[in-house]
C-alpha cells in the first residue's frame, strides 16, 4: 500500500508526516507547492512541534502530481477553492486510488464529476495545525479524524481508508454519519467566520456580545438550520465537540439573567486564554483567497435547490469578497458587521431586555 497526500500544506503535511513515521517515508508521498513544499523537499524532513516537543520527521515530498501514480490511497487536502485545479492536474495519475477528501468546505459535485463514487471518501478532522514557517508545523489542537462514504457506494472504501489511517497512528474512526457531521462543522464555521470579518474573538467579542448574538449568530443559525431542514440534511453532533442546536442553546442561555452571566464568565475565561483561530481569518490576514464560496456558498447552493432564501449567508459571502479585494489584514469593525446584518432586514430573533453594551 502506497499513500499519497495531495495539497500537503498544514493538514496534509501533518497527516502525511504521521503516516510516514509509521509506514516509512518511502511509502508515503506528499505533493504540494510553494515555499513550504520546496523547503521540505530540499531538506527531506518536516519539523513538527506538538505538545511541547519538536520532532523531525523524514518524508518524501514531491512537486509533481505524476508521483501519485504509485499510490492506492490519496488524502486530498487542498483548500476547497483549489479543488477543481488540483483534481484536473492529478486525475490522470490517480488511476484506481481511493480519494480521502479532508476539507472544511463542501463541493462533492466537483469530485463526483471526475472520480467514480465508490472511490470517494469524505473526511473531517478536529485537529488544528498551522504552518509557522516553510517546513515547520505546529499542532495547536489534537483531535479525531472522522471518515465515511461521500456517496453510498463508498462504504467499503471508507472502512478500508479508516483502517489505513488508524493503523498509521492517526486518531481516525469510521462513521456512517459523516455527512451530518460535516454539515455541523460547516454550520459552526459559517457562524464563527463572521467574527473573522472584524478580527474579533468568536466567543468573547462575538457570542458574548448581546447585539452580535441577536443580530448575527441567532438569525444565521436559524437560517442555516432552516436550509438544512428544507434540503433534507440532518446535522449530526461532532463527537466530543459541539452541535448546531447546542450552539443555539448556548446563545439562548447567555440571555438568561443569572445562569447566562455565569456561563459567559466561564466561556470568557476559557476562550480568552485559548482563542479559536479560524482559517478564514488567517487567509484574510495573509491576503489569500478564502473558502467562503464553499462554506456559506454551499448553504446558498442548498437553499437554491430547496427554493429557500439564504440572505445572511449571501451577505457573508459579499462581505468576505469585499475584504478579499482590500489590502491584506483589512477588516470591518464589529459594529459595521452588526449594522450590515441589521440592514439585511432580519429582525433580532431573541427576546430579552433592550440591548446593552457588553
Ligand X SMILES: NC(=O)c1ccc[n+]([C@@H]2O[C@H](COP(=O)([O-])OP(=O)(O)OC[C@H]3O[C@@H](n4cnc5c(N)ncnc54)[C@H](OP(=O)(O)O)[C@@H]3O)[C@@H](O)[C@H]2O)c1
Beta bridge partners of 132: none
104 near ligand X, judged by CB under 6 A:
yes
| CA distance linking residue 216 with residue 225, whole number of Å | 14
Q: In whole angstroms, how close is the CB of 87 to ligand X at the nearest point? A: 8
Q: In whole angstroms, how close is the CB of 11 to ligand X at the nearest point? A: 4
- Which grid cell is 341? 446584518
Q: Find where cell 518536516 sits.
A: 46
Q: Of the listed pieces 76-84, 225-233, 238-246, 331-339, which binds ligand X according to CB under 6 A?
A: 76-84
Residue nearest to ligand X (CB): 9
- Which grid cell is 7? 495539497
| CA distance linking residue 231 with residue 241, whole number of Å | 24
Q: In whole angstroms, how close is the CB of 125 to ligand X at the nearest point? A: 5
98 near ligand X, judged by CB under 6 A:
no
Could you give the 3-state DSSP secondary structure of residue 19?
helix
Q: Which CB, 124 or 204, lies closer to ligand X? A: 124
Q: Which CB, 190 or 251, lies closer to ligand X? A: 190
Judged by CB under 6 A, the residue of 3, 4, 5, 10 near ligand X is 10
| CA distance linking residue 243 with residue 80, whole number of Å | 23
128 near ligand X, judged by CB under 6 A:
yes
Residue 330 has a CB neighbour count (10 Å cut-off) of 14
Residues in the interface with ligand X (CB under 6 A) total: 29
105 near ligand X, judged by CB under 6 A:
yes
Judged by CB under 6 A, the residue of 205, 291, 293, 298 near ligand X is 291
Q: Which CB, 11 or 207, lies closer to ligand X? A: 11
| CA distance linking residue 154 with residue 136, whole number of Å | 34
Q: Find where cell 481569518 sits.
A: 281
Residues contacting residue 41 through CB under 8 Å, at least 6 positions apart: 61, 62, 63
Footprint of ligand X on this chain (CB under 6 A)?
A: 7, 9-12, 31-34, 36, 77-80, 82, 85-86, 89, 102-105, 125, 127-129, 131, 279, 291
Amino acid at each position: 500500500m502506497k499513500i499519497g497526500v495531495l495539497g500537503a500544506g498544514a493538514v496534509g503535511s501533518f497527516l502525511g508526516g504521521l503516516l510516514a513515521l509509521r509506514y516509512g517515508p518511502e511509502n508515503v508521498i506528499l505533493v504540494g507547492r510553494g515555499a513550504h513544499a520546496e523547503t521540505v523537499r530540499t531538506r527531506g524532513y518536516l519539523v513538527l512541534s506538538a505538545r511541547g516537543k519538536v520532532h523531525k520527521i523524514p518524508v518524501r515530498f514531491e512537486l509533481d502530481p505524476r508521483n501519485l501514480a504509485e499510490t492506492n490511497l490519496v488524502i486530498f487536502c487542498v483548500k476547497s477553492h483549489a479543488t477543481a485545479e488540483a483534481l484536473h492536474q492529478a486525475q490522470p495519475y490517480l488511476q484506481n486510488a481511493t480519494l480521502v477528501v479532508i476539507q472544511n468546505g463542501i463541493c462533492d459535485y466537483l469530485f463526483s464529476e471526475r472520480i467514480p463514487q465508490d472511490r470517494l471518501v469524505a473526511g473531517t478532522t478536529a485537529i488544528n495545525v498551522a504552518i509557522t514557517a516553510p517546513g515547520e508545523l505546529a499542532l495547536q489542537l489534537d483531535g479525531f479524524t472522522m471518515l465515511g462514504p461521500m456517496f453510498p457506494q463508498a462504504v467499503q472504501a471508507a472502512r478500508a481508508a479508516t483502517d489505513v489511517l488508524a493503523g498509521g497512528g492517526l486518531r481516525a474512526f469510521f462513521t456512517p454519519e459523516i455527512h451530518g457531521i460535516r454539515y455541523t462543522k460547516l454550520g459552526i464555521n459559517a457562524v464563527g467566520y463572521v467574527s473573522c470579518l472584524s478580527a474579533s474573538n468568536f466567543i468573547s467579542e462575538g457570542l458574548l456580545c448581546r447585539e452580535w448574538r441577536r443580530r448575527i449568530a441567532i438569525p444565521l443559525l436559524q437560517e442555516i438550520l432552516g436550509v438544512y431542514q428544507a434540503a433534507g440534511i440532518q446535522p449530526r453532533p461532532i463527537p466530543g465537540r459541539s452541535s448546531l442546536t447546542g450552539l443555539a442553546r448556548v446563545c439562548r442561555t447567555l440571555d438568561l439573567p443569572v445562569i447566562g452571566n455565569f456561563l459567559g464568565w466561564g466561556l470568557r475565561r476559557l476562550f480568552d486564554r485559548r482563542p479559536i483561530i479560524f482559517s478564514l481569518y488567517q487567509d484574510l490576514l495573509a491576503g489569500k483567497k478564502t473558502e467562503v464560496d464553499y462554506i456559506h456558498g454551499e448553504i446558498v447552493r442548498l437553499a437554491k435547490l430547496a427554493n429557500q432564501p439564504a440572505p445572511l449567508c449571501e451577505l457573508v459571502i459579499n462581505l468576505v469578497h469585499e475584504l478579499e479585494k482590500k489590502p491584506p489584514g483589512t477588516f470591518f469593525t464589529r459594529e459595521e458587521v452588526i449594522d450590515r446584518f441589521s440592514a439585511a432586514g432580519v429582525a433580532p430573533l431573541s427576546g430579552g431586555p433592550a440591548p446593552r453594551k457588553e
